[in-house]
Amino acid sequence: MKTVSKSLLGLASITLTASLSMNAQAGNSPANIDNVLQQLTTQHNNASSLVKSARQPASLALNSPMIAQSTKSKKTDEDIPVLDRLTAVASSTVNKFKQNGIASWYGRQFHGRKTASGETFDMNALTAAHNSLPMNCHVRVTNRDNGKSVVVKINDRPKTNRVLDLSYGAAQAIGMTGNVGNVTIERID
């Protein structure tokens, strides 16, 4: 905060010096000096408001009801470091990932090749490729046509624009007999 104040003070000094030197060339009329002082006062008030608002703990994330649920001990919010409170909100939010769409599967043509995670692809393992979920997280994939589900590990990035590319083994586990299927995916870890 001291750095911000020093920066703002330095900025005000530079602005004042530049304004006064321009006014000296313009004849130092009282109207010009009053105008410069008015502008500097406005800038100072705006900077002060910014600093005051930065000190206020009125953040949506910190006041989230999820934080209250994640802190069941007798500690108050002030006793818990901000980073820990934000981590509680982030992990609760991430674990609620859910997506519906079309999934496909891949098998023999990629068997034995390296995946994006560096693992060797095993077409019979329960794995999948997703565009944005982190590597090595687990998701529950449910076939919306028959209700069957399986938990798979994300270890690759898809070569298609579908919601998910399942390994052959995962597709068989949920009864996805065609090339594509209608699925719901939910992150579970």
CATH of the domain at 102: 2.40.40.10
pLDDT digits (tens, 9 = 90+) for 53-81: 555 554 445 555 555 555 455 555 566 67
Query: For residue 125, is pLDDT > 60?
Result: yes
Overall average pLDDT of the 128-144 stretch: 95
Chain centroid offset of residue 28 CA: 53
Percentage of the chain modeled with pLDDT above 70 = 57
Residues 51 and 105 in one domain: no
**Is 30 a domain residue?**
yes
Residue 172 pairs in a beta bridge with: none
Overall average pLDDT of the 122-147 stretch: 95
Number of domains in the chain: 2
Buried b / exposed e across 23-37, counting CB within 10 Å, b at 16+?
Answer: beeeeeeeebeeebe
Whose tokens are 């519906």? That residue is 100
CA distance 178 to 47: 63
Average pLDDT for the chain: 75
**pLDDT of amino acid 160:** 82
- Where in the sequence is the domain holding 14, given as residue range(s)? 2-55
| pTM strictly above 0.75 | no
**pLDDT of amino acid 39:** 78
**Is 72 a domain residue?**
no
Residues 113 and 168 in one domain: yes
**Is 140 a domain residue?**
yes
**pLDDT of amino acid 96:** 80
Please list, in sequence order, all residues whose beta carbon lies within 8 angstroms of the beta carbon of residue 130, skipping any fewer than 6 positions away: 139, 154, 157, 158, 163, 164, 165, 185
Residues 126 and 177 in one domain: yes
DSSP of 128-178: EE-SSSPTT-EEEEEETTT--EEEEEEEE--SSSSSEEEEHHHHHHTT--S
Among 130, 150, 133, 132, residue whose Cα is nearest residue 141: 150
**Is 9 a domain residue?**
yes
**pLDDT of amino acid 38:** 77
| Segment of 67-71, 90-94, 174-178 carrying the highest mean pLDDT | 174-178
Among 173, 170, 189, residue whose Cα is nearest residue 129: 170
Percentage of the chain modeled with pLDDT above 90 = 43
**Is 121 a domain residue?**
yes
Whose tokens are 């919010």? That residue is 77
Whose tokens are 């579908």? That residue is 162
Question: What is the CB neighbour count within 10 angstroms for residue 185?
Answer: 24
